Amino acid sequence: MAGKAIVLVIDDEEGMRDFLSFVLQTEGYQALTAAEGQEALKLMERDNIDAILTDLKMPGMDGIELLRRIREYDGNAVVVIMTAYASLQSALEAMKYGAYDYLLKPFDDVDTVMNTIARAVERRRLAQRNARLLDDLERANQQLSRMYEDAQRQAVDIKQSYEELKALGELNTRFTVKIFRALLDSLAHIKGRLTLLTSGRLGSLSDEQRDELAFAEWRTDELIHLIDDALYLRDSEAGQARLNPQPMSLAAVIEQACRRVRNKADEQAITLDCDVPANLPLILGDEARLRQAIAHLLDNAIKFSPPFGQVSVSLRREGNQMRLTVRDQGEGIPADKMQHVFDHFYQADSSRQQTAGLGLGLAVVKRVVDAHGGAIEVTSRAGRGTTVTLILPNVVTDDI
């Protein structure tokens, strides 16, 4: 231990104080003594006490009242009650008020006394270490919050930069890409810190702290996906986007996407119906990009659906094509806005929408489907919801 542990002995009997002080010093502790409660409280204000031994029956302020005052002054104080057999019931009562343990007088076994004191000191030292860890965790949380706020401000700056650079015809400059990459690097660092904090290696977490970290991790993932969308759109418009088509299960990607959004749907009391038949053939496609597009479709459907509404997802084969249909029961898209739904930063008006986003989702969906040689059908009626169908060719057949 760092330095001698300080043990405070409180007893109105001078002989007991002297005896315990001698035994404690023999065992390597620093002993302080007090004959009554007020003197003990003054010593607590002066010194950092590691463990307290107090008699239960004393004139003036008794052990129970002293215990209450000690706990008011230091909620982490470790107090051991000393009492005679006749006061055992009172000692047990003191345990309810926060006493760590009790010892019966007269002491038959000094080793028992020393073992109890050693445990009390270790309890105090452990509480102090935990407090330091919690302080470190709090500082790390504050730093993370500042980093997250910075990342949010950067996201807004990215949107403004995108609009300004596009208007000036400079979207494809190296400067823009460097901004995107720098932001992704910052988000990767934030993600790493979140993972470290969530792991508990920096100290135990309360349920509230876990919830806050989970929320921060979710928002960080949203920002990462947003930047990935922006980079993909930039590459697509510059003719630099590359696909990696491989035989893949579109059904598996859809089922995974449904599982991902199911909790979000349940939180909003939205019924999610995923109808994906078994034994559908594979298609030739870029799995990562199709997963990105399908995730946007389902997120939009959940976002714009009212509570107790329904979102339906179905997949069917028609000849050499797959048809993925997503239906929601939202407010629908006005007819005069239909032609803009695949534009960058387009957002349908919605009184329910609490998190606006940047409106890149459907633009990404359109670019991904176009890159696969597919098509998109959108039908919508005001107040009746929207249906989006992705038509993807290149079904893999046995004779290919």
Helices 207-237 and 361-371 pack at an angle, to 10 degrees, of: 50
The region of weakest confidence among 208-212, 230-234, 342-346, 351-355 is 351-355
Domains of the chain by residue range: 6-108, 132-237, 246-392
Residue 172 confidence (pLDDT) above 80: no
Confidence of residue 6 (pLDDT cuts 50, 70, 90): very high
Please report the DSSP string for 325-380 in residue order: EEE--SS---GGGGGGTTSTT-----TT-S----S-HHHHHHHHHHHTT-EEEEEE
For the chain, helix (H) and strand (E) counts, in that order, are 10, 12
Q: Which residues contact 390 (CB under 8 A, 6 or more apart)?
A: 293, 294, 297, 323, 324, 325, 365, 369, 374, 375, 376
- Residue from 54, 49, 15, 17 nearest 30 by CA: 49
Q: Which of 8-17, 126-135, 169-178, 327-336 has the highest mean pLDDT?
A: 8-17
Query: Six-digit token pair at 165?
Result: 């650079």
* Residue of higher predicted confidence among 349 and 221: 221
CA angle 284, 288, 290 (to 5 degrees): 60
Q: Which residues contact 361 (CB under 8 A, 6 or more apart)?
A: 229, 296, 297, 299, 300
Q: Which residues contact 152 (CB under 8 A, 6 or more apart)?
A: 219, 223
- pLDDT value of position 167: 65
Confidence of residue 67 (pLDDT cuts 50, 70, 90): confident
Domain 6-108 has what CATH class? Answer: alpha beta
CA–CA separation, 348 and 346 (whole Å): 7
- pLDDT value of position 351: 46
Q: How many CB atoms lie within 10 A of CB 363?
A: 23
Query: Six-digit token pair at 347?
Result: 């957002």
Confidence of residue 161 (pLDDT cuts 50, 70, 90): confident
Domain 246-392 has what CATH class? Answer: alpha beta
- pLDDT value of position 168: 60
- pLDDT value of position 169: 57
Q: Which of 9-23, 147-161, 324-338 has the highest mean pLDDT?
A: 9-23
Mean pLDDT, to the nearest integer, of 232-256? Answer: 85
What pLDDT digit, counting tens, does each position of 251-268 carry? Answer: 999 999 999 899 889 999
Model confidence pTM above 0.75: no
3-state secondary structure of 202: coil
Average pLDDT, the chain: 82
Give percent of the chain with pLDDT exceeding 70.
89
**DSSP β-ladder status, 283-285 and 246-248:** antiparallel
Q: How many CB atoms lie within 10 A of CB 268?
A: 15
Burial 15-28 (b: 16+ CB within 10 A, else e): ebbebbbebbeeee
- pLDDT value of position 400: 44
| C-alpha 152, offset from chain centre | 17
- pLDDT value of position 173: 55
- pLDDT value of position 350: 47
Q: Which of 51-65, 91-105, 291-305 has the highest mean pLDDT?
A: 291-305
CATH of domain 132-237: 1.20.58
- pLDDT value of position 356: 43
- CB of 78 within 8 A of CB of 48? no
CA–CA separation, 10 and 17 (whole Å): 7
What pLDDT digit, counting tens, does each position of 343-379 carry? Answer: 765 555 544 444 444 456 788 889 999 999 999 999 9
